[in-house]
Amino acid sequence: MLQTAAIFLDRDGTLIEDVHYCKDPALVRAFPGVVDALVSLRARGFRLVIITNQSAIGRGLMTLDQYEAVHARTLEVLAPVEIDATYLCPETPEKPSDRRKPAPGMVLEAARDLDLDLSRSWFIGDKSIDVQCGRASGTRSILVLTGRGTRDDGEGAQFVARDLAEAAEFILKQSDAS
């Protein structure tokens, strides 16, 4: 059976506005163009997987229930797009974890769970750890400038995009060329 390619997506600063340790669903706002970009990627057969570090849980600044409420709201604002899966790492940076980005654990777990072809997949995020995670897991990476990252954080990325819409356009052009 042929494995499917995926788009791995950081959440805060990539799909939705980065509200420091967001625990209020009312603060969830998708960036302009995100839904259309995800629809176009889905239409080309890509699976969509959110990969998110949420150290506020490990720090005791947010409960798992608060995270779940924000995540549910995120999925609502991304409708009608179906997100195939979400992988969460609640550990703090001080706690060793093979799942916390930039480590590739969550991406590798998703690849096993969803039978994904990482060599045909992409990781899109707004920080250097997202680019590093993509590279460590065997995907191609794109840095978007909608969150905390700067152009310098895109070292090692295949592309630095203004936003998710431009990243999706780049991926679709690359898919056409191959």
- Please, which residues have CB within 8 angstroms of residue 128's CB and are 6 or more apart in sequence? 102, 143, 149, 153, 154, 155
Is residue 10 part of the annotated active site? The answer reads yes
Residue 34, token pair as written in the block = 């995100």
Is residue 36 part of the annotated active site? The answer reads no
One of 12, 18, 130, 163 is an active-site residue; which one? Answer: 12
Give the length of the chain: 178
Task: Give the helix/strand (H/E) hosting 89.
Answer: strand 85-89
Phi, psi of 113 (to 5 degrees): -65, -40
Task: Give the helix/strand (H/E) hosting 8.
Answer: strand 6-9
How far apart CA 66 and CA 63 sit, in angstroms, is 5
Instruction: List beta partners, residue 144.
Output: 161
How many Cα atoms within 13 Å fall on the side-chain side of residue 28?
A: 19
First-to-last alpha carbon distance for the chain, in angstroms, is 20
Which residues form the catalytic set? Answer: 10, 12
